[in-house]
Amino acid sequence: MNMNLQNFFSPKSIAIIGASRTSGKVGHEIMKNLIEGKYLGQIFPINKEGDEVLGRKIFRSILDVYEKIDLAILAIPAEFVLPVLKQCKKKKISSVLIISSGFKEIGNEKLELEVQNFLRKNEMKAIGVNCLGIYDAYSNLDALFIPRYKLKRPDRGGISFVCQSGAIGAAILDLAAHEGHTFSKFISYGNATDIDESDILKYLENDETTKVICLYVEGIKDGEKFFKTLQKVAKKKPIIALKGGLSEEGSKAVMSHTGSLAGAKEVFYGIFNQTRVIHANSLEEMFEIASLFEFIPNKIGNRIQVVTNGGGFGILSIDSISASKNLSLAELSENTKKNLRAQLPRLINIGNPLDLVGDADPRRYEIALDQIMHDKNVDTVLVIVLYQTPLITKDVIDVIKNFKLKSSKSLIVISTGGDFTRLLSLQLEKDSIPVFQYPENAIKALDKVAGYYNKLS
């Protein structure tokens, strides 16, 4: 199959079949989101009842539309899908997004097979069935059927999230947007009747705006295709995968969810081990790892120097680095130590962690970072800033940003706290500096990223 999915992500015109005048209906919501999302192409609402929706004329059939249609979105009951696909064929629409559910996930294997056969015989491509839709932050294509007040859309960025499960996709997309993660694409592919996760991964491999791929997968039909695709794509772009149904009981639940076999967990562990795919153990971890790739485009080295104004946080960080697989503690060069000793208060212990102690001010961070910047023994700097300490002012933000501008080393910030902390963290994130709440989580994510680069080299 030719993996040009261009028409799904940047179509010049879209027909929404099942566009309804009734707010709340899937077809209505997709129309609304396309308009509110400022999609720039043409939108043709289709509904056999005719009338008008959101100020646009409803066509009774796609065959009544004169213009060329790049993408058809089907938001109609399952039993109408096949007849509408036949119309799509007549209208020479080769890309179809099928939101409709009611197929093998409820035991209706036969109908799904018929749809599949029709698509393949006629060389039409479909994403779905039984899916949430597509979101592309760059082409302003918002073909999700959940209203924006319930599901915040992320800003433009480098993450693409490929998700079998619609509800996980929706919840995580909402959370990711809320937490400031930025996206290229979100694709919910449901039952994978035609296009499956492998096809989408192949497309994303060459998609310019996708820097890192997050993948939630339950069942895989074609294991060999999946393995080969992961092997190839993960060489070029990091893929972070979370697998649902790894346990026996979870695997049973997969069957009734997307109607697919979950597969033995050994098979998946094998795939993750033999490819460069990063296996996330939880949803939280998936996005923590993604945020590192999103913000740090170059290779993240594994010799970590910790700089802190909270002794305890320094200690927990050192514990986590020691317990990691792929990270090691940087050992500052003699020259750096000498310079730091000359400039920092006598009581500060020059080592790793470099504990600037509770009365540290921004100037002290500046001294530390200026020295570490030139130390060849350090790859990555983990800067812990606790804004609760007395002499830290928001000037420390500029010190950290300045380090990022001037240094080639990777930089990760840990900052724990409430409103004041979040406000300042946001300023760092705007400059693409990853900020974590907890040292343990940051280091776990860093460990997996370092493991990825180890496998590459």
| Spatial CA neighbour of 282 closest among 441, 155, 436 | 441
* 312 contributes a contact to a second copy by CB under 8 A: yes
28 vs 237, beta carbon nearer a second copy: 28
| Spatial CA neighbour of 219 closest among 196, 188, 187 | 196
Site for a second copy in 190-219 (CB under 8 A): 216, 218
* 437 contributes a contact to a second copy by CB under 8 A: yes
| Spatial CA neighbour of 47 closest among 63, 57, 55, 58 | 58
Site for a second copy in 34-93 (CB under 8 A): none
CB of 57 to a second copy, least distance (A): 25
Q: Which stretch binds a second copy (CB under 8 A): 43-51, 73-81, 255-263, 367-375?
A: 255-263
11 vs 219, beta carbon nearer a second copy: 219
Answer yes or no: are the C-beta atoms of 304 and 329 closer than 8 Å.
yes
* 267 contributes a contact to a second copy by CB under 8 A: no
171 vs 426, beta carbon nearer a second copy: 171
* 307 contributes a contact to a second copy by CB under 8 A: no
125 vs 257, beta carbon nearer a second copy: 257
> What is the contact mask toward a second copy in residues 395 to 434, using x (rule: CB under 8 A)?
---------------------xxxxxxx------------
**DSSP code of residue 299:** P
Answer yes or no: are the C-beta atoms of 173 and 113 closer than 8 Å.
no
86 vs 363, beta carbon nearer a second copy: 363
* 261 contributes a contact to a second copy by CB under 8 A: no
* 347 contributes a contact to a second copy by CB under 8 A: yes
Burial 364-400 (b: 16+ CB within 10 A, else e): bbbbbbbbbbebeebbbbbbbbbbeeeebeeebbebb
* 321 contributes a contact to a second copy by CB under 8 A: yes
Answer yes or no: are the C-beta atoms of 391 and 421 closer than 8 Å.
no
SS3 for 166?
helix
Site for a second copy in 364-393 (CB under 8 A): 386-390
The separation between the first and the last C-alpha atoms of the chain, rounded to the nearest angstrom, is 31
CB of 238 to a second copy, least distance (A): 21
Taking CB under 8 A as the criterion, the residue among 12, 351, 427, 455 binding a second copy is: 351
How many whole angstroms separate alpha carbon 417 and alpha carbon 395? 18
How many Cβ atoms from other residues are within 10 Å of residue 357's Cβ? 17
